[in-house]
Amino acid sequence: MSEITFKEWENFDFRVGQILEVNDHPKADKLYLLKVDLSEKQIQLVAGLKSFYKPKELLNQRVIVFANLEPAMIRGQKSEGMILCAEKDNIVSFLTPEREVPLGAKIR
Amino acid sequence: MSEITFKEWENFDFRVGQILEVNDHPKADKLYLLKVDLSEKQIQLVAGLKSFYKPKELLNQRVIVFANLEPAMIRGQKSEGMILCAEKDNIVSFLTPEREVPLGAKIR
């Protein structure tokens, strides 16, 4: 992959958020509708995590949110960001801060 | 901050890595020289984590590496990426996968 400059990276807004609600997407079997608290605001996300996590495994967890991703409508539901996950060999894990950091903390 | 398209995001290469070595930067009090295993390759990073982590707190940890950041020379040492950390109110934490995922796993 081509290299990215530090200046380009600075345009990205990744934040520590907390999952407040986990609901089934009404029109897609593999998707959740999540409500996530970013401290400054709460957002709704559509996340393809249903095959990998039960709702109770996500609820209240601290996650990393790509907060200035262009919003999209996914099967009729607004998605205002993305939860960063690691994936290899069909194993999927969300990312989390190793220490307790305040909600809304910026990723640098 | 302005919005980022999903297509722009796809140019970024973030990987799960493991810290193999932690050494003092020979010319900078607050910097470590880290050796990180990304599975496909091992890289050297300069990281400003010395005020926040002891070497033993970093050694062998799984971290998230910005792997295609433009390499830089930092005080005479090559830095081939960046370890993603959350920061707020002077609390700093590296990010880690919540589950065991294979080394080199890509962040999506």
Terminal-residue alpha carbon distance, chain B: 21
- Give the distance from CA B20 to its chain's centroid: 12
Q: How many CB atoms lie within 10 A of CB A38?
A: 19
Q: What is the ipTM of this complex?
A: 0.95
Q: How many CB atoms lie within 10 A of CB A61?
A: 17
Each residue's pLDDT tens digit, A30-86: 999 999 999 999 999 999 999 999 999 999 999 999 999 999 999 999 999 999 999
pLDDT lower than 70: segments of chain B: none
Task: Determine the distance in angstroms separating the CA of A29 from the nearest CA of chain B, rounded to an integer.
Answer: 20
pLDDT of residue A56: 98
Interface mutation vs chain A, best among B15, B54, B98, B107, most A CBs within 10 Å: B98
pLDDT of residue B1: 78
- Contact of B65 with B36, CB cutoff 8 Å: yes
Task: Determine the distance in angstroms separating the CA of B26 from the nearest CA of chain A, rounded to an integer.
Answer: 24
Q: Is B74 on the interface with A (CB under 8 A)?
A: no
B13-107 fold: OB fold (Dihydrolipoamide Acetyltransferase, E2P) (2.40.50)
B21 forms beta bridges with: B35
Residues in A touching B14 (Cβ below 8 Å): 84
Q: Is B16 on the interface with A (CB under 8 A)?
A: yes
Q: Kindly determine whether residue A95 and residue B96, on different chains, have CB atoms separated by under 8 Å.
A: yes
Q: Kindly determine whether residue A108 and residue B2, on different chains, have CB atoms separated by under 8 Å.
A: no
pLDDT of residue A1: 78
The structure's pTM equals 0.96
A vs B: CB pairs below 8 A: 146
Residues in B touching A3 (Cβ below 8 Å): 68-71
Q: Kindly determine whether residue A105 and residue B91, on different chains, have CB atoms separated by under 8 Å.
A: yes
Count of all residues that appear for chain A in the document? 108
pLDDT of residue A93: 98
Task: Determine the distance in angstroms separating the CA of B82 from the nearest CA of chain A, rounded to an integer.
Answer: 9
